[in-house]
Chains A and B, each alone.
Chain A
């Protein structure tokens, strides 16, 4: 059984830098989520124009996670949340990580090398959510504390939500330049010649040809 660390948010740089790729964590506190590419592009465009985001993201967690909400009077209720593929945001994330000063990025599937470098430089980690973990991940929802850009469809909005023991999530990229995704991609690439060689041997001696 792998130990799971519970992290209280907001977490300071030392705490974030103490995490290592492969650690399992749960999060308690406020996170900000959006699965919309137009959302991240808008954040980036505003950052470049010196426009403050609609909520302060400095030191916060900003995740590639979509959500469905319903509005009852003035209150937003979050019905569920779930991650989306982070590599869709590869072009925007390096500058956003540096410019917004976020401590946690995340979603599923990892981010590219420029984001890894940005996380190392600024003290930020990437957390991998269970794709298709909607039912269990949504159990962590406590209350919505802010919804921004409501003219967008539900999963594109910036939603600030208080969660309790969200996860477990895997540290996929740590603040020391270590990326599980890069390591696995490189390892798989390095193994490919041996895998192909084995396939050729098995093809030659397989049942079908015996």
Chain B
């Protein structure tokens, strides 16, 4: 049975709203762990407020943050899946439905980059990237609304045959530049290698990886552990007013490439907005995050 336009539209619009109204379970766990660990009084109060705000938003169906950002979707299509209707149009129409019906209403954050005019619609909006899952009979969709607070501080630099030390130093420098501005405690996503565009894709896909899952390659898993401790030693703390928790997780991935090695770094704020859903070819929907 093909996956219908109507199902894709309703699922993707629901995902966007859920991302605005609920903190993922693993991020809640990480915030609770930070609460237990934090000794600085103001940092503790800030974490308490974050946890209370997450609970209140979920209970009342309210937004955690007024910046609903731009909706971004990563769509991974199993090769055994069939569709009945346009996929991109379903996602675009789903977003339009959210804009028309959301309570409370969304602010106009979608911006024409040539005129800075604000609205809800625009070229290539929502931003959707596609991938193929060989042999799978389902579609996996990740929705991650991207706001200015954490989106602004992402960065990319292209190195030539860098050492691990140079790569790790660059990640730290990007974290220092973001400082108090990206709404810590953060999730940091790092993409190493491939090409200019592929490194950023790796960083983005890393940042939405479920927390607590280390990279399968032990060299990368070690780098993740090292960098998490290093980021927390910077001392920016919750909301960047000081404390022991600047990041909840650092996720790294890499790809083979040439000797010009791009390193991309991106951030999710403490709300860690992301929702993950699988739709089976028979139309069954399971929310995995």
Contact bitstring B22-62, A, C-beta under 8 A = 1, else 0: 00000000000000000001101110011011001100101
- Number of inter-chain CB pairs below 8 Å: 180
The answer to whether A108 and B149 touch across the interface, beta carbons within 8 angstroms, is yes
Q: A91 an interface residue at 8 Å Cβ cutoff? A: no
Q: B72 an interface residue at 8 Å Cβ cutoff? A: no
Q: B91 an interface residue at 8 Å Cβ cutoff? A: no
The answer to whether B45 and A132 touch across the interface, beta carbons within 8 angstroms, is no
With contacts A1-B41, A109-B181 taken as known, whether A66 is within 8 angstroms of B239 at the C-beta atoms is: no
CA distance A131 to B56 in the complex (A): 15
The stretch among B5-13, B128-136, B168-176 that forms the contact with chain A is B168-176
The stretch among B80-88, B192-200, B218-226, B254-262 that forms the contact with chain A is B218-226
The answer to whether A85 and B179 touch across the interface, beta carbons within 8 angstroms, is no
User: Nearest chain-A residue to B109 (Cβ)?
Assistant: A155
The stretch among A46-54, A92-100, A190-198 that forms the contact with chain B is A190-198
With contacts A109-B240, A131-B183 taken as known, whether A84 is within 8 angstroms of B165 at the C-beta atoms is: no
Please give, as numbers and ranges, the residues of chain A lying within 8 Å of B105 by CB-CB distance: 68, 70, 79
The stretch among B202-210, B230-238, B279-287 that forms the contact with chain A is B230-238
Q: B148 an interface residue at 8 Å Cβ cutoff? A: yes
The answer to whether A184 and B233 touch across the interface, beta carbons within 8 angstroms, is no
User: Nearest chain-B residue to A130 (Cβ)?
Assistant: B49
Q: A180 an interface residue at 8 Å Cβ cutoff? A: yes
The answer to whether B183 and A132 touch across the interface, beta carbons within 8 angstroms, is yes
Name the contact of A135 in the complex, choosing from B56, B164, B226 (C-beta under 8 A). B56
Q: A24 an interface residue at 8 Å Cβ cutoff? A: yes
The answer to whether A130 and B241 touch across the interface, beta carbons within 8 angstroms, is no
**Can you spell out 30 A-B residue pairs with CB atoms less than 8 angstroms apart?**
A66-B107, A70-B105, A79-B105, A85-B152, A85-B181, A108-B180, A128-B240, A130-B46, A130-B50, A131-B239, A131-B269, A131-B270, A134-B64, A135-B57, A136-B53, A138-B62, A154-B108, A155-B107, A168-B45, A170-B46, A170-B241, A172-B241, A180-B241, A184-B179, A184-B180, A184-B241, A191-B233, A199-B165, A199-B226, A202-B222
Binding site for A on B (CB under 8 A): 41-42, 44-46, 49-50, 52-53, 56-57, 60, 62-67, 104-108, 118, 148-149, 152, 164-165, 168-169, 172-173, 176, 179-183, 218-219, 221-222, 226-227, 230, 233-237, 239-242, 269-271
